[in-house]
Amino acid sequence: TYTTDTKSREENKKTIESLHRLSVDINKIRKLKEWVLLQDMAYVKEIAGILQEMGADETTVANILERCPEAILHTPAEVNSQRALWQLVCQNEKQLIRLIEQFPESFFTTEYHDNQKANILFFQELGLKNNIIIRFLTSAPSIFYNPVEKNKNMIETLQRNYLSLGGSDANMKIWILKLLSQNPFILLNASTTIQENLEFLQKNDFTDHEVLQLLSKLKGFIFQLTSTGMQKSMLFSKNVFKCSDQELKQLVLKCPALLYYSVPVLEERLEGLLKEGISIAQIRETPMVLELTTQIVQYRIKKLSALGYDIKSGTLESLNGTKKDFEVNYGKIQSKKERPIFNPVAPVHIED
């Protein structure tokens, strides 16, 4: 814990001089985290030395220290321990230094070193590839702060539920690894939440097979929802589409976003579509269009309209999908429009 009482303290001149020698922009640090410069003890030269040993040039070292100045408050022993830890999953030091430059805060969080190490070894044992573990370390570092037992319990809960829903032993490992790689934050949930949400779906007449389907489609995000929120979203959709419980269930299976998004989000997206002249019947036919933000929908409609494609009278399928899916559809419509109509029996005019 470092003091942040800046009024009564002065900047550490030795720290400032050492940073200057490394061409670090001191003003950036003053704006970002001035408290670092007020600490009595800092290891500027030592930390820079470790980074250089790993292959970082002067610019890279300066960049790392400007972005994460608290790096200089860690002892060389702590940083070397992190270095050894991250080397368990990195191919070489060149890759490691590149990661430290991109994600310095993740690397220089040394307080949970033992938990981080135990979790890395557990994930490797589980069968996660090193490049996935690296992605976790950089984009979801908080899952490594958990004691390894907590993460193990969560994995066991997921495995138990997968099997009780009719999943097979043979596919379980692949399912768990896929789910984790899509959404590592599952591990931050409480196992009671998982239980409650699965029970909610079963009470709403989703078969075990359908629940498994939803878990895979929602990439585990279902565990970050609450049964109350899901209930509200489903009720909203039922009223909008004027459908029976069975029809609603089919719509949810087709478009899990109806379960995942809150009522205000669904309301806003629905409103945006209706403003464009799209009917409720069209949306009910292709509910996946509600997965798109209003801005994306407007942009896509504008592009299609420029080709003379009337979205009000056609299907919404052409609006759907990822950016790549849309570009492919758009390209097909465009080439269809540009293709000249060829009449094989028309006479060919040749100039003399």
Q: What is the mean pLDDT of each run of 10 residues along the chain (352 residues)?
A: 56 93 92 92 95 94 95 96 96 94 94 95 95 94 94 92 90 90 88 86 92 83 85 94 93 91 94 90 91 90 85 80 85 74 51 42
Both tokens of 74, joined, read 């860690």
Going by C-beta distance under 8 Å and a sequence separation of 6 or more, which residues neighbour residue 209? 165, 166
Question: Taken in order 48, 51, 57, 61, is the CA torsion positive or negative?
Answer: negative
Measured CA to CA in angstroms, residue 294 lies from 106, 269, 289 at distances of 34, 6, 10
Going by C-beta distance under 8 Å and a sequence separation of 6 or more, which residues neighbour residue 176? 126, 155, 158, 159, 162
11 neighbors 38 (Cβ within 8 angstroms): yes
- Name the residue type at position 157: T
47 neighbors 79 (Cβ within 8 angstroms): yes
Taking the C-alpha atoms of residue 303 and residue 305, their distance in angstroms, rounded to an integer, is 6
Exposed e or buried b per residue across 87-109, where buried means at least 16 C-beta atoms within 10 angstroms of its C-beta: eebbeebebbbebbbebbebbbb
The residue written with tokens 């409720």 in the block is 280
In 3D space, the residue among 74, 83, 65 whose CA is nearest the CA of residue 24 turns out to be 65
DSSP state of 341: P
- Name the residue type at position 238: K
Task: Please tell me the predicted confidence (pLDDT) of residue 314.
Answer: 72
In 3D space, the residue among 328, 263, 272 whose CA is nearest the CA of residue 297 turns out to be 272
Query: 3-state DSSP call for residue 238?
Result: helix
Task: Please tell me the predicted confidence (pLDDT) of residue 1.
Answer: 45
DSSP state of 347: P
Q: E-strand spans in the chain?
A: none
249 neighbors 283 (Cβ within 8 angstroms): no
Residues written for the chain: 352
H/E stretch holding 281 reads: helix 280-285
Query: 3-state DSSP call for residue 36?
Result: helix
Task: Please tell me the predicted confidence (pLDDT) of residue 345.
Answer: 53
Taking the C-alpha atoms of residue 67 and residue 4, their distance in angstroms, rounded to an integer, is 18
Task: Please tell me the predicted confidence (pLDDT) of residue 350.
Answer: 47
Taking the C-alpha atoms of residue 328 and residue 203, their distance in angstroms, rounded to an integer, is 40
Both tokens of 56, joined, read 């970082």
- Name the residue type at position 124: Q
Task: Please tell me the predicted confidence (pLDDT) of residue 333.
Answer: 80
Question: Taken in order 90, 93, 94, 96, is the CA torsion positive or negative?
Answer: positive
200 neighbors 231 (Cβ within 8 angstroms): yes
Taking the C-alpha atoms of residue 116 and residue 110, their distance in angstroms, rounded to an integer, is 9
- The CB density around residue 341, as the number of other CB atoms within 10 Å, is 5
Measured CA to CA in angstroms, residue 179 lies from 286, 295, 334 at distances of 26, 29, 37
